């Protein structure tokens, strides 16, 4: 009697259980890929800001707003006061600028939603990449054409290593580019 019950489990229940477990894993894995690697993440922001207008049409350099990228490990998200350098005068009657002005007058920081993020366990230094001449587009995509910014490139270990291993082909605009470090402690400190 016991052998037939074991046979029943091995022939019927175990394969179904294994199939359900694999299907659940696969579904979770593929459905959560945007959360894992961020590609496609394009959140609404507290102020509708057009990179197409500012960085594209008006040709405002990325480093005007994202100060310190050539000196700092991080790219700074601009403070309201940076925006108000222009918007105390320019387009003051627009709804989004009125909202921006309220933040400024009330001395409230804007809670921008972070889009591009390297995992916390990995060390990344913006200044090293910027000072090597790597264009923002190489990692962030065609920001100058984006009305609403989203993450277009993966920031997984594999995508970083692909660039470090093949920098000459991936960054052809740099004449004397060398492949980047591949040792673990370059990023895992």
Delimit the domains of the chain by residue range.
2-31, 36-77+112-186
CB count in 10 Å sphere of residue 10: 10
> 3-state DSSP: the chain helix, strand, coil percent, rounded to 5?
50, 0, 50
What one-character DSSP code corresponds to residue 138? H
184 contacts: CB under 8 Å, gap ≥ 6: none
Q: How confident is residue 30, by pLDDT bands cut at 50, 70 and 90?
A: low
Average pLDDT of span 88-112: 94
Q: What is the dihedral of CA 3, 5, 11, 13, to 10 degrees?
A: -150
Percent of the chain with pLDDT over 90: 58
Q: What is the rounded distance in angstroms from the CA atom of residue 113 to the CA atom of residue 149?
A: 11
Here the tokens at position 157 are 């270990």
């Amino acid at each position: 009697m016991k052998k037939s019950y074991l046979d029943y489990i091995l022939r019927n229940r175990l394969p179904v259980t294994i199939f359900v477990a694999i299907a659940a894993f696969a579904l979770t894995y593929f459905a959560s890929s945007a959360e894992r690697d961020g590609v496609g993440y394009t959140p609404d922001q507290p102020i509708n800001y057009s990179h197409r207008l500012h960085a594209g049409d008006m040709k405002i350099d990325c480093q005007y707003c994202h100060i310190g990228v050539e000196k700092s490990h991080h790219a700074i998200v601009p403070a309201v006061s940076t925006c108000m350098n222009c918007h105390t005068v320019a387009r003051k009657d627009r709804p989004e600028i009125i909202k921006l002005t309220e933040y400024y007058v009330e001395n409230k920081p804007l809670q921008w939603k972070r889009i591009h993020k390297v995992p916390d366990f990995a060390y990344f230094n913006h200044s090293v990449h910027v000072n090597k001449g790597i264009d923002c587009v190489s990692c962030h995509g065609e920001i100058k054409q984006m009305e609403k910014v989203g993450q277009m490139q993966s920031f997984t270990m594999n995508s970083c290593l692909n660039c470090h291993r093949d920098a000459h082909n991936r960054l052809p605009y740099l004449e004397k580019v060398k492949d980047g470090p591949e040792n673990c402690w370059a990023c895992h400190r």
